[in-house]
Amino acid sequence: MTRSPNGYEIDRVTRLQTLLARLAPLLLLGALALVVAACVPATGGAGASGSAGPSPTHSQAPLAPAQLGASPFDLLAWAFTPIFQVLFIGLVALDKLFGNMLLAILALTVIIRVITTPITRKQLVSSRQTQLLQPEIKEIQRKYKGDRVKAQNATQEFYRQRGINPAGGCLPMVVTTGLLIPMYSVFSQGLTNYDITRMLRVGPIDFGQLLGITCPGAATGPQFNPVHGYVTNACLGSSSTIFGIDWGIPEPYTTGLFVFGFGLSILAIISSLVQLISSRQLLPPQDPRTADDTNVKTQRQMAYFLPFISILYGGVVPAGLMLYWIASSAIAIVQQFLVVGFGGIFPLFGWSPQFAQDYRPRYHVTLPEPKPPKTGDAASAAERSRAVDRDLSARSTIRPNPNRPKSGRRGRRR
């Protein structure tokens, strides 16, 4: 049997989406680890403290733009520097505007979500359209049950006629989630460094001077916490501690909530609950026709399980990042509500209110009409070629009548 080169495209997309959903938290933690490693200067760098105490951290040297080097870590840090500076300078400016780091983080989150709204909307529309097509896809799979190649080719052609790319929601998700990496550096380094003046310079513009930023620790050097090792004389330390929480370090370091040596973050628990609502909202409403579908079951299990991974890393990432993620997830719920409504939130413990069943989202997603075949389209050309072959084959099976005159057809004689 000859297999189409694109025969497995739909399966590859489905498997890739499932794999990304399963590995997303691990990949995120790995990326964060790479960024941390990339941003750690060499031991004994400028501004290092020679006093005995905790092991040196990334805050031992003044914060400065990374230089391009041959090391992969240097290349990674150099590539992230422009994004880091935009986010960091924006956060410092908002902190000066509000005089409160908590409000600055929330304002920066809103700005980022507004800027990425077109990308988010594209992701939501693509995901919702793919969900709406699932009954037709199931019908195609039932029709070609036992012939995997025909089912895949028919599914691919069905998506093409509808003008929908099943992977259309993956790239926007990668882009929006990828902002977590520079945001992690903004909180873990920008809010904990004792000298940030060089990072506030972009070309000839000195934003530190424009915003009136002064760092007393630049003259005295860093001072470290004797237990956890973070810098206690951070340049933005006076404004980064709100409600007794230092937003540049993990929450348990300031609250002291440790269970068997494991840091417990209240913000991480709140983040998990908010993400659980967001994940369930993106699920399609329960359909009896897909109740036994393995992919649907796996998707729902992941939507229930993945949000709670935040509790595991909530004790090691900065509190500011958890606040950013909570605010970002809350805004995402509002954006999703405008496109998908309540989604798969209900039934909740068997309760399914009528207002959720009859609700129509403000930006209701409808299925696009099938596209007419284009002139010269490859598929149309293939169909025409097969039609010609069938016609030629049919002509070759017709035997000529030996009694029929060779001349043209004549009328009957009267």
Question: What mean pLDDT comes out for the span 135-141?
Answer: 85
Q: Is the pLDDT of residue 335 over 60?
A: yes
Mean pLDDT of the chain: 77
Question: What mean pLDDT comes out for the span 321-348?
Answer: 93
How does pLDDT run across 383-397, given as a tens digit for each residue?
544 443 444 344 445
Cα–Cα distance between 246 and 260 in angstroms, integer? 22
What is the three-class DSSP state of 372?
coil
- At residue 110, the pLDDT reads 97
* Structure-token match 């709100």, residue found: 242
How does pLDDT run across 243-290, given as a tens digit for each residue?
889 999 999 998 888 888 889 999 999 999 999 999 999 888 777 666
Among 191-200, 311-320, 374-383, which stretch is predicted with the lowest mean pLDDT? 374-383
Q: Is the pLDDT of residue 34 over 50?
A: no
Q: Is the pLDDT of residue 32 over 50?
A: no
Helices (H), 179-234: 180-185, 207-211, 217-220
- At residue 387, the pLDDT reads 43
Most confident range (mean pLDDT) of 71-85, 147-161, 181-195 is 181-195
- The dihedral built from the CA positions of residue 390, 396, 401 and 405, taken in this order, carries a sign that is positive
Among 145-149, 167-171, 198-202, 295-299, which stretch is predicted with the lowest mean pLDDT? 167-171
The full DSSP string for 236-267 is THHHHEETTEETTS-HHHHH--EETTEE--HH
On the question of a cis peptide bond just before residue 347, with omega within 30 degrees of 0, the verdict is yes
Of 40 and 401, which is predicted with more confidence? 401
pLDDT band at residue 408 using 50, 70 and 90 as cut-offs: very low
CA angle 325, 331, 337 (to 5 degrees): 135
Cα–Cα distances in angstroms (integers) from residue 386 to residues 2, 177, 371, in the given order = 16, 47, 21
Question: What mean pLDDT comes out for the span 26-39?
Answer: 45
- At residue 180, the pLDDT reads 86
Cα–Cα distance between 176 and 25 in angstroms, integer? 14
- At residue 373, the pLDDT reads 62
Are 156 and 10 in contact by the 8 Å Cβ rule? The answer is yes
143: left (phi over 0), alpha (psi -120 to 50) or beta: alpha
Q: Is the pLDDT of residue 164 over 90?
A: no
Among 19-28, 259-268, 362-371, which stretch is predicted with the lowest mean pLDDT? 19-28
**For residue 191, how many C-alpha atoms fall within 13 Å in the half-sphere facing its CB?**
30
Structure letter (DSSP) for residue 4: P
Would you kindly state where each structural domain of the chain is located, as residue ranges? 13-116+179-244
Of 250 and 21, which is predicted with more confidence? 250
Cα–Cα distance between 367 and 82 in angstroms, integer? 40
